[in-house]
Amino acid sequence: MHKTIYIFVLWVLTCSAAKADDIRFTVQVSATRISRQDFVQVQYLIENSRKVSQFIPPDFKSFDVVEGPDQTSGWNMENGELKEYVAFSFLLRPLREGRLMIPFAMARIDGKQYRSNALWVDVGSSVIPGLSENQDFASELVMRKGETVADKIRNNIFVKLDVDKKTCYEGEPVVATYKLYTRLRSESKVTKRPSFNGFSVYDMINPESEEPIRELFQGREYNVYLLRKVQLYPLQSGNIELDPVEVENTLTFIRAEHLQSGIALPRIMKNLAEGMDDEAVVREKVLLSSAPVAVDVKPLPQVRDPAFNGAVGNFEVRTFLSNPVVHKNDLVNLVVKISGKGNFPMLAAPAVNWPDSAEPYETTVQEYFSKFTSPISGAKVFNIPFTVQKEGDIVIPAVDLHYFDPISRKYAIARSDSVKLHVEPAVTIVPSAALAAASGSRPGEALKWIITAVALVVVAGSIYILIRRTYQKPAVQSPSSVIPVTEPVIGADEEDPMNSIRDAFEKGDPREFYRQLGMIMDDCMRRKYKVDFSGNWEKELLANGVDPDMISEIRLLKEDAALAMYTPFVMESKMVEDLARIEKLIC
C-alpha cells in the first residue's frame, strides 16, 4: 500500500470540526463534475481520533480503482487546538456516464462502528481529461502531430486592453481594463505593469479577488482573467498612449499519441496535476503583451470662468454651520459639502466670501467617495473653523463651485444657500475663587470681590494689549544700539524641516507626523515651484516640468496625510513608508 499525499492535504489543513472530542467521518471528492475520461480523487476523512482499528472500503461499482487506498495521518490546527485525523484516499476513473454515487465506507474508531456519508458525481462525455464542461476548450490541451506551440498560441491566448472611451477632456476619466484571454492550460504572472504617465490613477478592482469569467470574442469562448482595471484622469491634453502590460505564461499540453494508452493516462494526469516531468507533457513559457491604445485628450474650452479651478464632472454644493447661535469669539465650523460625480481627488476647497468680522482658520478635509465607480462618486467635506468678533446677526454668502460638465460640454456653477449666524455677547469668565468668596460673604464684601475680579480682568487685558503692540511695532533702535549682522553659517542656526517629522515618528504620534508632513510639503511646493495646493496643483507641477512619477508620489503622500488625520489607527509600516517618501521629495 503506497502512502501518497494528494491535494487532499489542502482539505486537511482547512477542514473544520465541531468539538475536539467529537469524531467525524466524512467523504470528500476533488470534483463533483468530471468527464468520462477524467479521474476523481476520493478521500474518507476521520477527524478527532487516530485510534482506527479497521477501515472497510466500499465497493466502487461504477468506478475503476486506479490507486488506493492510500493512508495518511496527522494533525490539523483549529482555533489554537491540535486535532488529529486519519485519511484513506483513492484515485478512481468512471466506467460510464451519468450521475454516479461515491458510496459510504465503514470504520471501527475507538472501539465503535462508524459510517461515512455518500456523495454523487456527475460524469459527462468530454473526450479530454480535466475539461469536462467544454469539449472545444479540451481539444486545445492536446498537441497533435505536426502542431507547434506557436500554432497553439495563435488565437488561443492573448492579452487585451479595453478602454471605455478613446476621446475625453482634461479631468474626464477613462476606464482602462487589462485582461488575459485564454483557451489553454496556463500559469500566468504579470511581469511589467503600465505606468500611466500623464494621468492620475485610481484602481477600481483588486485582480486577485476576481474569479475568471467566460467571454465570447470574435465568435470563440475564452476564460478571461482580469489583470488590472483603473480609471485614469488626464492631467494634460494631447494624444497619450497607454502603456502595455506584459504577462509571462507557462503553457501545458499533452502529446496526442500518449492519450491512446489507457495504462499511461493515470500516470500522465497525476504528473500533470503535481507539476512533475513526463514525456507526454509539453511545457512552454511565452511572454505576451497588450497592443498599444492611444487616448485623445482634448483641452477644456478656452472660454472659461476665471473662478474655475479644475473641477470636471457634475456637482452640487451645500453649506452648514455647526451651531447657528454662538457667543462672540467662540469657535464655530462652516461645513462645505460637495457631492456628485467627477474628479473629486483634485477638488480644492471653494472660496468663501467671509464677512469682515469673521476670521477663518485652517481647513480640514474629509472624503466620502468611492473610487470603484467612474466617474468617482460621493462627497468631499471641507470643515472651516472661524470666529466672529462682532455681535449681532451675520450672513455668510452662498458658496460657488465652478466646474466643467463633460456631458453637456459646458461650464456650470453649483451654488449653496447662504447661512445665517447669530452672535451673542462674549461670556465674561469670573475666577472661581472670587465667586466662592462672594457667595459666602456679606453683600458689601461680595460687591468688593466682584469689583476686584473685574479689575483683574481689566489689568490682564491691558497687559495683553501692551504685549501685542510690542510685537506688532518693534522699537526703533538708536545707532549705538544696533547689533551688527553677520553672514549666517549654513546649517548652524537653520533647523532641518525634517526634524519635526522625525521627532513625531520617534514618539509614535501619527497625527502630528502627518500634520507636519502636510505643512512641509505645502511649504516646499510654494517655495520651489510657486504652486498653491488649493488649486489644480498637479497640472501646475506638470507645467513646471516636474516628473509625473514625482507628482504621483506627492499625491499619494497628500492622500495618506489627509486620511491619517481622520483615522483612529495608522499602521506604523505606513509611517515608515511615508517617511522614506518625504525624505526623497523634500527640497
Choose between 105 and 83: higher pLDDT: 105
The answer to the question of residue 491 being in a domain is no
Tell me how far apart the alpha carbons of residues 517 and 175 are, in angstroms, rounded to a whole number.
Answer: 32
Please say which residue of 297, 330, 353 terminates a domain: 297
User: What are the pLDDT digits (tens) for 12-63?
Assistant: 333 333 333 478 899 998 878 887 777 788 999 888 876 888 899 999 999 9
Check residues 353 and 209 and name the one with the higher pLDDT.
Answer: 353
Q: Verify that 378 and 441 share a domain, yes or no.
A: no
Provide the 3-class DSSP secondary structure of residue 71: strand
- Average pLDDT score over residue span 200-205: 87
* Domain presence at residue 376: yes
- Residue 438: pLDDT band by 50, 70, 90 thresholds? very low
Residue 78 clears pLDDT 80, i.e. is over it = no
* pTM, 2 dp: 0.51
pLDDT at 151 over 70: yes
* pLDDT tops 80 at residue 556: no
What is the percentage of the chain residues whose pLDDT exceeds 90? 30
Q: Please state, in angstroms and rounded to a whole number, the distance separating the CA atoms of residues 565 and 578.
A: 14
Highest mean pLDDT among 134-138, 150-154, 526-530: 150-154
493 or 161, greater pLDDT: 161
Q: Give residue 576's pLDDT.
A: 75
Residue 481: inside a domain, yes or no? no
What is the chain's mean pLDDT, rounded?
A: 77
Please give the grid coordinates belonging to residue 287.
Answer: 511572454
Supply the pLDDT for residue 476. 36
535 occurs within a structural domain: yes
Q: Is 291 helix (H, G, I), strand (E, B) or coil?
A: coil
Question: HSE-up of 298 (CA within 13 Å, CB side)?
Answer: 12
Domain co-membership, 248 together with 337: no
Domain count, the chain: 5
Q: Are strands 142-143 and 246-255 parallel, antiparallel or unpaired?
A: parallel
Residue 151 lies in a domain: yes
Same domain for 314 and 412, yes or no, is: yes
Residue 488 lies in a domain: no
Q: 209 and 560 in contact (C-beta within 8 Å)?
A: no
d(CA 167, CA 573): 40
Q: Strands, E, within 275-426: which ranges?
A: 281-289, 293-298, 311-321, 325-327, 332-342, 358-360, 364-370, 377-388, 392-396, 400-405, 410-415, 419-424
Within this chain, do residues 201 and 321 fall inside the same structural domain, yes or no? no
Same domain as 35, residue 70 = yes
Examine the fold and report which residue of 70, 99, 124 is the final residue of a domain before the chain moves on. Answer: 124
Query: Of the residues 71, 98, 124, which one is the last residue of a structural domain?
Result: 124
Residues 330 and 408 in one domain: yes
Nearest to 386 by CA among 365, 349, 359: 359
Q: How far is the C-alpha of 124 from the C-alpha of 36, rounded, in Å?
A: 6
Please state, in angstroms and rounded to a whole number, the distance separating the CA atoms of residues 249 and 194: 18
584, pLDDT greater than 80: no
Does residue 45 sit in the same domain as residue 176? no
C-alpha span between 183 and 231 (Å, rounded): 28
Q: State whether 37 and 171 are in the same domain.
A: no
> Across residues 312-324, what is the average pLDDT?
92
Could you tell me if residue 489 is inside a domain? no
Asked if 377 contacts 371 with a C-beta cutoff of 8 angstroms, the reply is no
**In this structure, which amino acid lies at residue 65?**
V
Whether 274 is covered by a domain: the verdict is yes
pLDDT: is 466 or 422 the higher one? 422
H or E, element range at 352? none
> Which SS3 state, helix, strand or coil, does residue 540 take?
helix
Average pLDDT over residues 185-206: 86
| C-alpha grid cell, residue 476 | 526703533
| Same structural domain, 273 and 142 | yes
Q: Is pLDDT larger for residue 269 or for residue 35?
A: 35
- What's the domain range around 311? 307-424
Q: What is the mean pLDDT of residues 482-489?
A: 33
Do residues 254 and 217 both lie within one domain? yes
pLDDT bucket at 486, cuts 50 / 70 / 90: very low
What amino acid is encoded at 230 in this protein? V
CATH of the domain at 368: 2.60.40.1510
SS (H, E, C) 406-450: CCCCEEEEEECCCEEEEEECCCCCCCHHHHHHHHCCCHHHHHHHH
Q: Which residue, among 358, 355, 315, 307, has the nearest Cα to 336 in the 3D structure?
A: 315
Which CATH number goes with the domain that contains 73?
2.60.40
Q: Is the pLDDT of residue 312 over 90?
A: yes
Q: What is the dihedral of CA 338, 340, 341, 346, to 10 degrees?
A: 0
Distance of alpha carbon 286 from alpha carbon 213, whole angstroms:
22
Residues 21 and 83 in one domain: yes
Same domain, 141 and 263: yes
pLDDT at residue 179, rounded to an integer? 93
Q: Given a cut of 80, is residue 570 above it in pLDDT?
A: no
